Amino acid sequence: MIDIEHLKFPIGRFVIPESIDSTQIQEAVSYLIKFSSYLETALVGKDEAYLDTPYRPGGWMIKQVIHHLADSHMNAFIRFKLALTEENPTVKGYDEAAWANLPDSLMGIESSMAIIKAVHEKWGVILSAMTEADFRKTFFHPEKQRSQSLGEVALMYAWHGMHHLAHVQLPNLQQVKS
């Protein structure tokens, strides 16, 4: 029997650490810088049938996951830039499930892979130049009704990348289809 919770959260749910240290941040930064290459490697040899397969019953197709990563990480990159240049700006939330059902989420993944590569290249430059004080800067997230530090958000997006990479790499993906 397929464990739906494991398919939904193959690496577990994101948990905000009680305290965030520079080692955790540097590990997250290193992962975010390399993320696009990890994703590209995971997709080598995957055909259109694989990309059209949901990673769990009722879940997104793998191609929708890729498009979601482009959308989500673009938003994260912009939120970082806002927090680095403004005092605790309020960021815009968005309905990621609705975005995943827009027509662009059904096209091939090439454009989203290019976006992911470019966003992570630019984001990596900024992340690598950030100071400890920069990682303490915040933005206000209206859906969460609280401010989030860029350190927390870096950890969350490293988790987010690992989370969806695990979806792409699910070993029994063809069993999920049935």
| Structural domain harbouring 126 | 21-177
pLDDT given for residue 140 in this prediction: 98
pLDDT given for residue 2 in this prediction: 62
Give mean pLDDT in consecutive 10-residue pieces for the chain, a chain of 178 residues: 79 94 97 98 95 92 97 98 98 95 95 98 98 98 96 98 95 53
pLDDT given for residue 173 in this prediction: 58
Domains of the chain: total: 1
Pick the closest to residue 128 from 28, 61, 59 (CA basis): 28
Residue 49 lies in a domain: yes
DSSP H helices in the chain: 4-8, 22-43, 48-51, 62-85, 96-99, 110-129, 132-136, 150-168, 173-177
Beta-bridged to residue 90, according to DSSP, are 140
What is the CATH classification number for the domain harbouring 107? Answer: 1.20.120.450
Pick the closest to residue 163 from 73, 90, 80, 48 (CA basis): 73
Residue 83 lies in a domain: yes
pLDDT given for residue 4 in this prediction: 78
Residue 6 lies in a domain: no
Pick the closest to residue 90 from 147, 129, 136 (CA basis): 147
Residue 12 lies in a domain: no
Residue 125 lies in a domain: yes
- pTM for this predicted structure: 0.93
Residue 121 lies in a domain: yes
